[in-house]
């Protein structure tokens, strides 16, 4: 991690509901944030963040070439909270497994925080899920 006096840089993969909350926190702490989304710009224009320390880029993190093209960004920290868009098992693998692999290959040694999904839990009835809930998914996308 870059601990000198220059501004720290976050690479944020996914700029939806969770990603926008994360970017607000990092921006408030003085970080520069580059937010990646599958499409162009914010996935929720009504809550768009306007800050000169935030740049938004379109990137398919499941593509090694697309992620490698970002090498020049040289982030100090990466947060992966991109969603699969309710895709099936193959899309989950592309976004979560391939996406993480592409990020760690392109930015070796850069700390990466991965946010999972509630699909790892079997509860789909609206019941509360806590840290003590068993991770026994009944869907392939949670395995």
Residue 132 structural domain: 9-142
Angle made by CA atoms 115, 116, 119, in degrees to the nearest 5: 155
Give per-residue pLDDT as tens, 8-57.
Answer: 999 999 998 899 999 999 999 999 999 999 875 544 554 567 888 999 99
Q: Does residue 2 lie in a domain region?
A: no
Q: What is the CATH number of the domain that holds 123?
A: 3.40.50.720
Number of domains in the chain: 1
Give per-residue pLDDT as tens, 97-143.
Answer: 999 999 999 999 999 999 977 767 777 777 888 888 877 766 665 55
The confidence score (pLDDT) of residue 123 equals 74
1 or 58, higher pLDDT: 58
Q: Does residue 1 lie in a domain region?
A: no
3 or 88, higher pLDDT: 88
Q: Does residue 133 lie in a domain region?
A: yes
Nearest to 11 by CA among 65, 51, 68, 70: 70
Measured in degrees and rounded to the nearest 5, phi and psi for residue 20 equal -70, -35
The confidence score (pLDDT) of residue 140 equals 64
Q: Are 110 and 75 in contact (CB under 8 A)?
A: yes
Q: Does residue 43 lie in a domain region?
A: yes
Q: Does residue 56 lie in a domain region?
A: yes
Residues 6+ apart with CB under 8 A from 110: 11, 75, 76, 77, 78, 104
Q: Does residue 3 lie in a domain region?
A: no
Measured CA to CA, the distance from residue 35 to residue 112 in angstroms comes to 14
pTM score: 0.82
């Amino acid at each position: 991690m870059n601990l000198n006096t220059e501004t720290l840089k976050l690479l944020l993969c996914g700029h939806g509901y969770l990603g926008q909350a994360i970017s607000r926190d990092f921006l408030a702490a003085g970080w520069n944030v580059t937010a990646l989304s599958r499409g162009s710009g914010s996935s929720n224009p009504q809550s768009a963040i306007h800050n000169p320390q935030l740049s938004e880029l379109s990137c398919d993190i499941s593509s090694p070439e697309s992620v490698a093209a970002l090498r020049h960004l040289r982030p100090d920290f990466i947060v992966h909270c991109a969603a699969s868009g309710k895709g099936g098992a193959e899309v989950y693998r592309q976004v979560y497994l391939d996406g993480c692999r592409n990020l760690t290959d392109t930015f070796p040694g850069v700390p990466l925080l991965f946010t999972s999904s509630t699909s790892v839990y079997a509860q789909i009835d609206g019941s509360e899920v806590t840290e003590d809930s068993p991770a026994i998914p009944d869907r392939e996308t949670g395995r």
